Structure 1
Amino acid sequence: MRINYDIHDLQAFVAVAERGSFRQAATDLFLSQSALSRRIEKLEEGLGVKLFERTTRRVQLTNVGQTFLVNVRTALDNLEDAVLGVADLAAHRTGTITLACVPSAVWHFLPQVLTRFSARFPRIRVRIHDESAQDVLNLVLGGEADFGINFTGAENPEIVFEPIYVEKYVLAMRRDHPLAKRRSLSWKETVDERYISVAKSSGNRSVIDAALAGVEKHPLISWEVNHVSGVLALVEAGMGVAAVPNLSVLPGRQDIVIGVPLVNPEIKRTLGLICKRKHSMAPAARTLFEMLVEALVKRPLTTLDEGDPG
């Protein structure tokens, strides 16, 4: 049987059944009695059954009508739940956000923003992929992450890149290193240091190599590690110094390892929020994205730009 009636017809049927009166039901629904009667007739014709026994004094459900009333109420309740579920998502009450970011974001500014977001929307689950810059870019491009925090992607035509701040590179060293009291260091002054570097496959290595291409004097690599975390572990062990982005020097370890700003040349990278172009974010993801923009774009950059030599 083809269904040729709509939700208003079902609501009219329930109103008449509950009120036992076309007149009272019509008043409740802000309809004329003739309009309400047409809806019930349309429903009965579509079903091929009689739903009401009508007398001059009262309207009563038939046996079929009583069974139908139970089913219609259930259907309307389920529909209402479905609509409210969508409204909940739109109002950020439930759902999941997937965020891809470089690890330094997790250590520094992401927890503060997530804490405020969670206080406003406690039933939203946030899934975080803390990965390398290339992996973050791939997750966003592939649609596996709603958006990302990354320092690459601005050159990709499929990516919208929202700059957060410019991060300078520092020379990471133990706090008891002879150069730790310096406000800044030129690359020439580091030539005699045992230098620890990330591997050539690293995005950080590419940034540093490009900046030092025309520099005559800079330190030779003594140790090479795949990830910045490994580099900093060797620095902490006293095996040498390393050029790393300022955010890589973790706040909880600055009693042991500090970063002194590097100059001549000064090396920078731009960290930003990335999302796929022409991709419509879910309301909750859009809200978190905007909270990050507001928190980070307006954040004072003095500490991040100048480093903290201690």
Structure 2
Amino acid sequence: MIINFDLNDLQAFRAVVDKGSFRGAAEAIRISQPALSRRIEKLESALDVKLFERTTRRVSLTMVGRAFLPQVERLLDDLDIALMGISNVASTRMGNVTIACVPSTAYYFMPHVISEFHKLYPKIRLRVLDASAGEVCNAVASGEADFGVSFSGSLADEVEFELLLQERYVLACRRDHPLAERESVTWTEAYEHDYITVDKTSGNRFLLDQALRGVRVKKPSICETHHVTTMIGLVEAGLGVAMVPSIAMPAGTHPILVSVPLVEPLVMRNVGLIKRRGRTLPPAALELERLVREMPFRSV
């Protein structure tokens, strides 16, 4: 059999899958959109199949394209790993790595990790998608992100979860609040005060609703936000208290805020890596994943 396509054509194919559009794929691999279209047409012609369904609004894989994708990903990823092993190209190559994180983990995990990654690989551009747990999961499942850092919960079948740490929920309040000096606070006691919560689109809200079914809540929240980090800002401004994951709180002693352990019940959250099932990460993304794994987690 004569093969009338090359690695450039396969890279173009994977770029279209990852970006979901010909325009985005062309920008990602730095070629014109007509040139990218020619590569896809060449690949389809060589294989005598149709790989994509194209409309004015979206691009999606055909059944044949979905079957072909894992083989292409395995071939290109194996080639990248081989090249990195024999010539250390990871330190000099230019490229992009995308990681998706829920905001609390982006705040805690990523500043140190990004700094170390940039020192090691200054020519690689890093993109951080700070989004809700559902959006993080979707970004990883669709290939928009190479991998994610989030918490376990309702995950799509296309992704797998690997535990990094467990953390408890704490009460965030100002130092001048009546509960600030307590050694612990029950959830029922916390809800007796003015409080801020996350809205129903948040993965934290889903987790808490499941864990706190037996807790009586006497009054509604005074404000709902989409992200935990926004809640903490409102607590600092004096609007009320908030129940948040411990890693979302500032490290060390804060001049205004304090965290108090929440009990009855003790609610924990599992934080870990989210990756698309069955896919080997590209070398640069593997290096970023390694740095996340090696991060010294504080006691939470």
Q: TM-score, normalised by structure 2?
A: 0.65
Q: Which has the larger displacement, 265-274 or 152-161?
A: 152-161
Q: Does 1:224 align with 2:223?
A: yes
The gaps in structure 1 that reach 5 residues or longer are 1-83, 305-310
List aligned pairs for 1:68-147, cutoff 5 A.
Answer: 90-94=89-93, 95-147=95-147
Q: Deviations over 1:26-73 (max 9, x none)?
A: xxxxxxxxxxxxxxxxxxxxxxxxxxxxxxxxxxxxxxxxxxxxxxxx
Whether contact under 8 Å (2:90, 2:121) holds in the other structure is no
| 1:288 CA displacement | 1.2
Q: Secondary structure at the match of 2:262?
A: strand
The separation in 2 between residues aligned to 1:167 and 1:280, in whole angstroms, is: 28
- 1:205 corresponds to: 205
| 1:253 CA displacement | 9.0
The separation in 2 between residues aligned to 1:218 and 1:276, in whole angstroms, is: 38
Distance 1:214 1:221, change over 3 A: same
- 2:292 corresponds to: 292
| 1:111 CA displacement | 1.5
The separation in 1 between residues aligned to 2:102 and 2:200, in whole angstroms, is: 18
The separation in 1 between residues aligned to 2:159 and 2:240, in whole angstroms, is: 38
Highest CA radius of gyration, 1 or 2? 1
Distance 1:225 1:189, change over 3 A: closer
- 2:196 corresponds to: 196
Q: Secondary structure at the match of 1:221?
A: coil
Which amino acid in the other structure matches residue 226 of structure 1?
T
- 2:245 corresponds to: 245
Which amino acid in the other structure matches residue 262 of structure 2?
L
- 1:180 corresponds to: 180
Q: Secondary structure at the match of 1:100?
A: strand
Distance 1:85 1:269, change over 3 A: closer
| 1:238 CA displacement | 1.6
Identity percentage over the alignment? 43
Whether contact under 8 Å (1:168, 1:268) holds in the other structure is yes
Q: Which has the larger displacement, 226-235 or 193-202?
A: 226-235
Q: Secondary structure at the match of 1:115?
A: helix
Q: TM-score, normalised by structure 1?
A: 0.63
The gaps in structure 2 that reach 5 residues or longer are 1-82
The separation in 2 between residues aligned to 1:174 and 1:266, in whole angstroms, is: 22
| 1:283 CA displacement | 0.7
- 2:48 corresponds to: none
| 1:293 CA displacement | 1.4
The separation in 2 between residues aligned to 1:141 and 1:262, in whole angstroms, is: 34
The separation in 1 between residues aligned to 2:88 and 2:102, in whole angstroms, is: 27
Q: Deviations over 1:62-103 (max 9, x none)?
A: xxxxxxxxxxxxxxxxxxxxxx99987843422211111111
